[in-house]
Amino acid sequence: MNETAGAPTYRLTEDQQLLRDAVRVLADERVAPRAAEIDRTAEFPEDLRQLLAAQDILALPFPEEHGGLGGDLLSVCLAVEQLSRACATTGLILAAHELGALPILLAGSAEQQARWIPKLASGEWLICFALTEAEAGSDVAAARTRAVRDGDTYRITGSKRFITHGSVADLVTVFAVTDAEAPRHRRLTCFVLEVPAPGFAITRLEHKMGLRGSPTAELAFDDVRVPVANRIGEEGDGFGIAMRTFERSRPAIAAQAVGIAQGALEVAAAYAADRRQFGQRIGDLQMVGAMLADMDAATESARQVLYKACAEIEAGSPDAGRWAAMCKLVAGDAAMRVTTDAVQVLGGYGYIDDFPVERMMRDAKITQIYEGTQQIQRLVIARALLGKGR
């Protein structure tokens, strides 16, 4: 594909198309056949994690100097989208891996990056992001897990809840309060903990509505020692690191949502072209045809906001937080609506697990909740509009 020099392009680059198509083939042939079983057994698909590692998909978000592919944000999102189209749990393996690693990529020292990134890029290690607590969800700064300096280490005590991959990760990016008296946004500090570690325990695995193969853990820290060398940034930087992380991780969740919506749309369209009632294909009935058209338009709209958000964030837009929030908001709502309508198009067959749309509908719901609820996304967008909190 020849792009006219200097002309802005509104299409994916050739590299991005190649990458997307390669992941799509893998998702269709290797991931999709496993999706129903992953959902039914609620077991983490270690085989697919190995596959993503072997195919360099887990290497996408990481710089080439540390064994990564140096993919831009949009490339990561294209991969998450294609995987999620087949299986949202599998898409989350990449999205959550990127989320956990972002603090190291954004604020880690050269030494810290050299220490951890190669094993994350190869997929040998998984990393998780541990910020949320039972009493600190949307209100991140209300976290109570404490980290107390003790010589060359910090001693961390507290617990984290709803931690994606918490039970399968080798590294835990954990946020803890180092100064409870500081202003709200200067209380938290970010650490990377290599696990297992004395005092660290997985105390609970959640039973979830969707993403059932993705383990969501409660993590307990009982006087866990973390070397000072594992602190990301300075004391008090944690809240800022988390917010910068979300600017790049929310698009990945939006990509997951777009992928789920696309997957459901494809099943619904194929069904409507095949299923006959009243002597015709149900897709030719105007009420069904209109639903399909709205589903397609909603999915494509969400995809375009996402791709545009990726381009703006990658270009260093001062509006990055707004773009990240907006794409997650639009895509999460689209995924919920499209999957719900897909179940409707399939009628009784949509409500049973002979078809994947009921799973997709259950999987879609979380995209309206995690990495900031839709209400938090609206808060971020509204504040940007009003010129506050940027």
Partner 1 sequence: MRIVVLVKPVPDPASAGERLGPDGRLDRTAAPAVVNGNDEYALEAALKLIAAAPEGSEVTLVSMAPPSAPDTLRKALAMGATRGVLVTDPALAGSDAVSTSRVLAAALRDLEYDLVLAGVDTSDGVGGTVPAAVAAHLRLPYLSYAARIEPDEAAKTVRVRRISPTGYDLLEAPMPALISCTQVLGEPRYPSLKGIMGARSKEIATRSLADLGLDPATVGGTVAGTALLETRTPPLRGATEIVRGTPPEGAARILELLATRRLI
Minimum distance from CB of 28 to partner 1 (Å)?
A: 10
Measured from the Cβ of residue 58, the count of other Cβ atoms closer than 10 Å reads 28
Binding segment (CB under 8 A) for partner 1, from list 11-19, 141-149, 295-303, 350-358: 11-19
Decide if residue 273 touches partner 1 (CB under 8 A): no
**Total interface residues for partner 1 by CB under 8 A:** 16
Decide if residue 18 touches partner 1 (CB under 8 A): yes
Decide if residue 22 touches partner 1 (CB under 8 A): yes
Q: Which of 98, 133, 312, 371 is an active site residue?
A: 371
Residue number with CB closer to partner 1 (22 or 269): 22
CA distance linking residue 211 with residue 92, whole number of Å = 8
Residue number with CB closer to partner 1 (72 or 319): 72
Decide if residue 309 touches partner 1 (CB under 8 A): no
Among residues 12, 172, 182, 38, the alpha carbon closest in space to that of 96 is found at 172
CA distance linking residue 265 with residue 302, whole number of Å = 13
Residue number with CB closer to partner 1 (46 or 64): 64
Decide if residue 30 touches partner 1 (CB under 8 A): yes
Inter-CA distances, 267 with 52, 90, 182, 210, 261, Å: 24, 18, 52, 18, 10
For this structure, is 37 an active site residue?
A: no
Minimum distance from CB of 18 to partner 1 (Å)?
A: 5
Binding segment (CB under 8 A) for partner 1, from list 18-26, 161-169, 269-277, 360-368: 18-26
Measured from the Cβ of residue 139, the count of other Cβ atoms closer than 10 Å reads 11
Minimum distance from CB of 25 to partner 1 (Å)?
A: 7
Minimum distance from CB of 50 to partner 1 (Å)?
A: 13
Among residues 241, 223, 229, the alpha carbon closest in space to that of 175 is found at 241
Three-state DSSP at 328 gives helix
Binding segment (CB under 8 A) for partner 1, from list 51-59, 82-90, 122-130, 256-264: 51-59
Decide if residue 19 touches partner 1 (CB under 8 A): yes
Residue number with CB closer to partner 1 (15 or 222): 15
Helix, strand, coil percentages (3-state) for the chain, rounded to 5, are 55, 15, 30
Decide if residue 57 touches partner 1 (CB under 8 A): yes
Helix (H) or strand (E) holding 177: strand 171-177
Q: Specify whether the CB–CB gap between 51 and 30 falls below 8 A.
A: yes
Decide if residue 314 touches partner 1 (CB under 8 A): no
Decide if residue 16 touches partner 1 (CB under 8 A): no
Three-state DSSP at 229 gives helix
- Tell me which of 59, 76, 127, 334 binds partner 1, using CB under 8 A: 59
Token pair recorded at residue 33: 């056949």
Decide if residue 86 touches partner 1 (CB under 8 A): no
- Tell me which of 9, 54, 150, 270 binds partner 1, using CB under 8 A: 54
Residue number with CB closer to partner 1 (84 or 230): 84
- Tell me which of 3, 9, 11, 15 binds partner 1, using CB under 8 A: 15
Minimum distance from CB of 20 to partner 1 (Å)?
A: 11
Specify the amino acid at residue 33. Answer: P
CA distance linking residue 5 with residue 380, whole number of Å = 36
Among residues 104, 166, 155, 107, the alpha carbon closest in space to that of 133 is found at 166
Q: Specify whether the CB–CB gap between 309 and 251 falls below 8 A.
A: yes
DSSP alpha helix (H) spans, 275-366: 286-314, 320-346, 357-365
CA distance linking residue 62 with residue 179, whole number of Å = 32
Query: In this structure, what are the phi and psi dihedrals at residue 191, rounded to the nearest 5 degrees?
Result: -130, 155
Per DSSP, 282 falls in state G
Three-state DSSP at 338 gives helix
For strand 171-177 and strand 127-130, is the pairing parallel, antiparallel, or unpaired?
Answer: parallel
Minimum distance from CB of 24 to partner 1 (Å)?
A: 11
Decide if residue 268 touches partner 1 (CB under 8 A): no
Binding segment (CB under 8 A) for partner 1, from list 20-28, 125-133, 187-195, 351-359: 20-28
Decide if residue 311 touches partner 1 (CB under 8 A): no
Q: Specify whether the CB–CB gap between 82 and 52 falls below 8 A.
A: no
Minimum distance from CB of 77 to partner 1 (Å)?
A: 14
**Which residue numbers are catalytic?**
371
Q: Report the interface residues with partner 1, using CB under 8 A.
A: 15, 18-19, 22-23, 25-26, 29-30, 54-57, 59-60, 69
